Amino acid sequence: MSSINSRELYPEINPYKESFIKGDDTHEIFVEESGNPEGQPILFLHGGPGGGTGAKQRRFFDPSHYRIILFDQRGCGKSKPLGGTLKNTTDNLVNDIELIRKELNISEWIIFGGSWGSTLALAYAIKYPESVQGLILRGVFLSRKHELEWFLKDVDIFFPELHHNLLNHIPNTSKKNLLEKYTELVFSNNKDQAYQAAIAWNQFEGSILKLLPPAVSSETSEVDNEFELARAKVQLHYINNNCFVDGEDILEKSKILKDKPITIVQGRYDMVCPPKTAYELHQAIPHSKLIIVPNAGHSASEAGTLSALLDATDEFKRINS
């Protein structure tokens, strides 16, 4: 564990290129590039599953140095179809990443992923180690049974009232049938019920991301029902399938990354992806640098975590020098 300085994101920038890449006959993948077109390529992998990319995520990287690549995973953000779960597995996403690398004519790149993005980063790096220069990971998640059980059931130890609200949204819901009930509603043909269930599902995770609860705003922001529904659909689809990964297998196979620079940033009080998984990954890859931020939860935007991630992207500039 190291002391963390206080830093701010790089200034806002706009993409210099946006495109769609055909993943297969079902999915079109939205890809954007920003920063330095001749710079060191770095790929941002968003969380979820079911999240998406946004302008803020470009700002983890020095735009004068990096060729910054963001993409929306299948079913997410600007990728089409929004909320699509057909042909949407971790293997599909890993293949999409490799397709993007080839389409953009990149020989090798750095992978930056947090939460679910860390799972995907590891899955890709294990399959295509020759394409990966290094990894920056945050809030490590490996979708093992006890990790999913923690998020779905056991986290009520710390957030009993929030978990109670999640259960109470749907009548006759308990910890045992929580996943089944939300899946049934979110995928139902009753759009109003599906929207409300999706919003309740997403809000629960959003409410436990930070060490300190987010400030309650008196302003009511407009909710994008279709985005909320897509996010919940994709996430529930993945969780119902253990995210299509074997976490123990990833831990074992991660040892092949022994020659890659790897930095792991982990909030000490991460209630979505508790620190033990990050520590186990660090033990599997002992040369990796593990930074446990003492006053942070899961969010990348908390001061200590943000600073550690910015320090990591600055340190990784040296890979090409």
Q: Which are the catalytic amino acids?
A: 115, 270, 298
The whole-angstrom separation of Cα 226 and Cα 198 is 9
Inter-residue contact 308 to 291 (CB < 8 Å)? yes
The whole-angstrom separation of Cα 261 and Cα 248 is 21
The whole-angstrom separation of Cα 155 and Cα 160 is 8
As given in the structure block, the two tokens for residue 242 are: 């253990």
Residue for token pair 């550690």? 308
The whole-angstrom separation of Cα 24 and Cα 309 is 33
Contacts of 132 (CB under 8 A, 6+ apart): 108, 109, 110, 111, 124, 125, 257, 260
Strands of 40-45's sheet, edge to edge? Answer: 17-22, 28-35, 66-71, 40-45, 109-114, 132-138, 262-267, 289-293
Beta bridge mates, 21? 29
Beta bridge mates, 135? 111, 262
Inter-residue contact 288 to 265 (CB < 8 Å)? no
Q: Can you list the alpha helix ranges (DSSP code H) found in the chain?
A: 90-103, 116-127, 145-152, 160-168, 178-186, 191-207, 225-239, 247-253, 276-284, 303-315
The whole-angstrom separation of Cα 204 and Cα 232 is 11
Q: Tell me the residue type at 206.
A: G
| 3-state DSSP assignment of residue 286 | coil
